[in-house]
DNA sequence: TATGAATGAGCTTTCATTCAT
DNA sequence: AATGAATGAAAGCTCATTCAT
């Protein structure tokens, strides 16, 4: 409740509620589960399909039954487990900081923490991943701009300023988790929301 | 001069000035050059040492003569070509936005665009890279905070607010290049500098 | 009528008359049809059973329902679709060249062009195929010798000469199609028939 | 001396004279030797590279050091060990049968019996092999026609007849070995030479 | 009879690394 | 310092075959 994004544990708790004990669900699901974990940990390239199969508790051949090429596992993962939510949000005029905070708390992305790591780690080299990350970034900027526009009185404030504010907020949202992982430096999205909303008066 | 970070072409121009004959420099240098390009393009894991040797125009065995293990190439690259500059900067009270802009224009990092990509791409999985990125982030935050503190009148403005501002600016600086590469979305650091400086009055 | 052997199109026309709905015939037939085409094109070894099933439009498991082992598909093909006709032909004394021409036009083999390719391609390594090809060769030589004997006056002409003539004609008949496919060089069986008949006076 | 083509034993005797005991020669040569034997026996597709390495007495990886893809082994084999001799032969007017016999005894092809099998077996499916076989066929027909033309008096005898005779002789020469292997039926090239020469008077 | 998930042995190929020269 | 053949473990992937339904 105090964290802007669900933790890894909270996420797996919410998913395992529907299933049983490991091996959880059907073979295809277990393969994706395993791949998600391993890709997030060591990266796509460094993860052999054999280890995916092993962790999933299925024979090596079955991985290729469902996913003819290794890359298809990653594609399926992104397709099915990193869904960008593109819907209109209700307008709340006047409270820009609150709107940004709410956006931070509820990213327009259905994805586990592991999937989020994969999304950033592999975007560099894999087109389908990059495309998904691009959509997410666009959606966040769109919503941030919408929140700021509504919150601000009239047409005041030039467009460039608003654009920079939205992009800045998106950058923080997208990378705060990476930054924490890589540098150990925590960023409080609420403080940033207030800061940016304040900057536009 | 109008770009916040050197472009790839500008960088290689500035480097080749010191070098000379094609193929440029001695064998060790050519190996590192090749590795830098290939690691940036396809990632460390996906780059065979044989291709490094090929691109460097040296026999395969020579790579292992200079760098006993493949990982040593990456380590040397980070050590020698991603130098974080840790020095005190002169204070310019009163002009917070200008100070941030100057910081954006001159990151405390001696590294080519390719090296910067490597730094972010491999930080996840390779300790020595992560450590370097952490130092860079710390240095940027340090300087941003210093600039903002000096620029602001008195001790006014609470510490948390200043912290958030510095972290936000660092996030933008660190990831603007990645964001552009991944999403095509440009961010103007000067606008962000002004925005953040403005937010602190 | 002017071609010594049926063309692929003529063959499939004559077969589909008995069949009917697309996809043609029952599952077993469609499997054999697919195998015939694929074995002829790429060879037995290079053809996965999965592709046979795919081309036949049947599930993979069904192939093994009808043919427990992959080799059984080839065996069935040869058994059922490369039938060597072993029957006595009427004698027509005096016209050796004509008799050979007739033999060329109507090989003692019921088989599509694809099956003929399979017969030659797989004879090297698969006993049942080799045996069938041997029977065909023997039958052709038998008929050619018979035609030449009858056509020639008395017992004149030594046996070895006649043997060589029959074998030569058989070689041309058997391999003219292969030669054309492999080298693009056409051979006119009628001209060869006349040549060989003429050689025996 | 009485056989038109060298036997397998005679061929390997003539080659091993230059080398020592097995493992004979350098690694690349041993790999080609092994491949030649195995491809001839079981066919290209059915021969794993691992068995080539095993028979050659080299580690599996070395095969791919010299031949990046499996198909390159076959290509090298055809390139280096199935050389078609394209040179003019001296004219011997008047003795067509003798000229053809000499052609039969000395095919314009430098290749072991094993290579000859490979040439015919793989021509169907591998372009480079087919091209080589086509060249051989063309050369044989060329020489046979040349021999028959010279041997025959004046311009007598129509061109089509001569063409058929040359093609027939080439077919017999090319396939006599295959026919013998596949059907057990021996053909005496000398008898065929005499027959065909006789047919043209 | 019909189906497609499941299996695992084995395939081609890759690659970091070693080493004699 | 320089070289490229040699090595073998392990990678991605294929495929005939089995089997529960």
Q: What is the pLDDT of residue D16?
A: 46
Residues A199 and A165 sit within 8 Å (Cβ to Cβ)? yes
Q: What is the pLDDT of residue C18?
A: 43
**Closest to B119 (Cα-Cα) out of B39, B186, B189, B180:** B39
Segment among B97-101, D60-64, D150-154 with least mean pLDDT? D150-154
Chain D window 45-74: residues with CB closer than 7 Å to nucleic chain E are 47-50, 60-61, 63-65, 68-71
Instruction: Give me the mean pLDDT over the D88-94 stretch.
Output: 74
- What is chain A's mean pLDDT, rounded? 87
- Distance from the C19 Cα atom to the nearest Cα atom in chain D, whole angstroms: 30
Cβ–Cβ pairs < 8 A, chains C and D: 123
pLDDT, position A93 = 75
D158 pLDDT band, cuts 50/70/90, is confident
- Among A154-163, B129-138, B143-152, C140-149, the minimum mean pLDDT is found in A154-163
Residues A166-190 pLDDT 10s: 999 999 999 999 999 999 899 999 9
Report the pLDDT value the prediction gives residue B3, as an integer from 0 to 100.
Answer: 44
> What's residue B20's pLDDT?
36
Residue A191 to residues A4, A11, A99, B162, B187: CA-CA distances in angstroms? Answer: 12, 25, 13, 10, 21
pLDDT averaged over every residue in chain B: 87
User: Is the distance between the Cβ of C58 and the closest atom of strand E smaller than 7 Å?
Assistant: yes
Least confident of B49-53, D21-25, D56-60, D115-119: D21-25
DSSP letter assigned to residue A153: S
Residue D2 has pLDDT above 50, yes or no: no
DSSP string, C124-189: TT-HHHHHHHHHHHHHHHHHHHHHHHHHSSTT-S-HHHHHHHHHHHHHHHHHHHHHHHHH-----H
Q: Give tens-digit pLDDT for A38-69.
A: 999 999 999 999 999 999 999 999 999 999 99
Sequence-ordered list of residues with C-beta below 8 angstroms from that of C31, at least 6 positions apart, any chain = C52, C53, C56, C58, C62, C63, C66, C67, C73
Question: Is it the case that residue A23 has pLDDT exceeding 80?
Answer: no
Facing C191 at nearest CB: one of D117, D121, D164: D164
Residue A131 CA distance to nucleotide E7 C1' (Å): 36
Closest CA to B14 of B5, C189, A64: B5
The DSSP call for residue B88 is P
CB B148 within 8 A of CB B101: no
Mutation target for C interface from D4, D74, D141, D195: give the one with most C CBs within 10 A. D195
Which two tokens mark D21?
A: 């005991």
pLDDT at D104 over 70: yes
pLDDT value at B55 more than 50: yes
Identify whether the C-beta of residue C32 lies closer than 8 Å to the C-beta of residue C24.
no
* HSE-up (13 A, CA, CB side) for residue D81: 23
Q: Identify the segments of chain C with pLDDT beneath 50.
A: 1-4, 16-23
A-B Cβ pairs (cutoff 8 Å, strict): 123
Q: Stretch B152-161: mean pLDDT, rounded?
A: 71
Q: What is the mean pLDDT of residues D94-117?
A: 93
Q: How far is CA D23 from CA A139, D7, D19, D30, D34, in A?
A: 67, 22, 9, 7, 10
**Could D168 and C196 be called an inter-chain contact, meaning their C-beta atoms sit closer than 8 Å?**
yes
In this complex, the residue of A163, A165, A175 whose CB is nearest that of residue B171 is A175
Choose the weakest-confidence range: B135-139, B145-149, D58-62: B145-149
Q: Is the pLDDT of residue B112 over 80?
A: yes
Contact between chain D and chain B (3 or more Cβ pairs less than 8 Å apart)? no
| CB under 8 A, 24+ apart: contacts of C145-149 | C146/C89, C146/C91, C147/C96, C147/C99, C147/C100, C147/C103, C148/C96, C148/C99, C148/C100, C148/C196, C148/C197, C148/C200
- pLDDT at site A117: 94
| Test mutation, D167, D177, D193, D194, chain C, max C CBs within 10 A | D167
CB-nearest partner of B137 from A46, A174, A183: A183
A172, A175, A180, A181 alpha-carbon torsion, rounded to 10°: 180
Over its C-alpha atoms, chain A yields an Rg (Å, rounded) of 19
- Whether residue A99 is predicted with pLDDT greater than 50 in this model: the reply is yes
Distance from CA(C59) to C1'(E5), angstroms, rounded: 12
Q: Which of A135, A111, A70, A36 is nearest to B45 (CA)?
A: A70
Highest mean pLDDT among A5-9, B59-63, B85-89: B59-63
Q: In chain A, pLDDT over 70 holds for what percent of residues?
A: 85
State yes or no: pLDDT of B13 exceeds 60.
Answer: no
From the CA of B119, how many Å to the nearest CA of chain A?
11
Name the neighbours of D, counting chains with at least 3 Cβ pairs within 8 A.
Answer: C
Interface contact B185-A167, CB threshold 8 A: yes
Say if residue B70's pLDDT is above 70: yes
Task: For residues D33-46, give the mean pLDDT.
Answer: 96
Nearest CA distance, A161 vs chain B (angstrom): 7
**pLDDT for residue A10:** 61
How close is the nearest chain A Cα to the Cα of B182, in Å? 6
| Most distant pair of Cα atoms in chain A: their distance | 63
User: Which residue does chain B place closest to A181, by CA atoms?
Assistant: B124
Predicted local confidence at residue C22, as pLDDT: 39
Strand partners, A84: A109
Quote the pTM value. Answer: 0.87
User: Which nucleotide is nearest to A59 if distance is taken from CA to C1'?
Assistant: E7
- Phi and psi at B83, nearest 5°, equal -85, 120
The pLDDT of residue B21:
38
Q: ω into residue C23 within 30 of 0, thus cis?
A: yes
C-alpha span between C154 and C163 (Å, rounded): 16
Could D137 and C171 be called an inter-chain contact, meaning their C-beta atoms sit closer than 8 Å?
no
Q: At what angle do helices C49-56 and C27-42 cross, to 10 degrees?
A: 130
> Looking at A91-100, B80-89, C122-131, which range is the least confident one?
A91-100
Please answer whether residues A110 and A167 qualify as being in contact, where contact means their C-beta atoms are separated by less than 8 angstroms.
Answer: no
Mean pLDDT of the D32-40 span:
97
When pLDDT is cut at 50, 70 and 90, the band that residue B182 belongs to is confident
Q: Find the closest chain C residue to D179 by CA distance.
A: C171
Per-residue pLDDT, B165: 94
Scanning chain D, the segments in alpha helix (DSSP H) are 8-16, 27-42, 49-56, 60-66, 70-81, 96-105, 113-122, 127-151, 159-183, 189-199
- The yes-or-no verdict on residue D8 having pLDDT over 80 is no
């Amino acid at each position: 409740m105090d964290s802007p994004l669900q933790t890894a544990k909270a996420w797996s708790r919410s998913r395992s509620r529907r299933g049983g004990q490991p091996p959880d669900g059907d073979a295809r699901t277990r393969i994706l589960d395993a791949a998600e974990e391993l890709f997030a940990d060591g990266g796509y390239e460094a993860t052999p399909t054999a280890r995916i199969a092993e962790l999933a508790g299925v024979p090596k051949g079955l991985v290729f039954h469902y996913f003819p090429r290794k890359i298809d596992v990653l594609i399926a993962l992104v397709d099915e487990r990193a869904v960008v939510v593109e819907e209109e949000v209700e307008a709340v005029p006047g409270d820009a900081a609150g709107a940004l905070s709410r956006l931070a708390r509820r990213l327009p992305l259905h994805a586990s923490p592991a999937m989020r790591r994969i999304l950033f780690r592999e975007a560099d080299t894999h087109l389908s991943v990059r495309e998904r990350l691009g959509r997410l970034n666009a959606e966040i900027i769109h919503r941030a701009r919408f929140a700021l526009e509504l919150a601000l009185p009239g047409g005041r404030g030039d467009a460039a300023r608003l654009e920079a504010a939205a992009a800045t907020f998106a950058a923080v949202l997208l990378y705060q988790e990476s930054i924490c992982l890589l540098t150990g430096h925590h960023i409080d999205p609420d403080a940033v929301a207030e800061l940016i909303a304040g900057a536009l008066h």
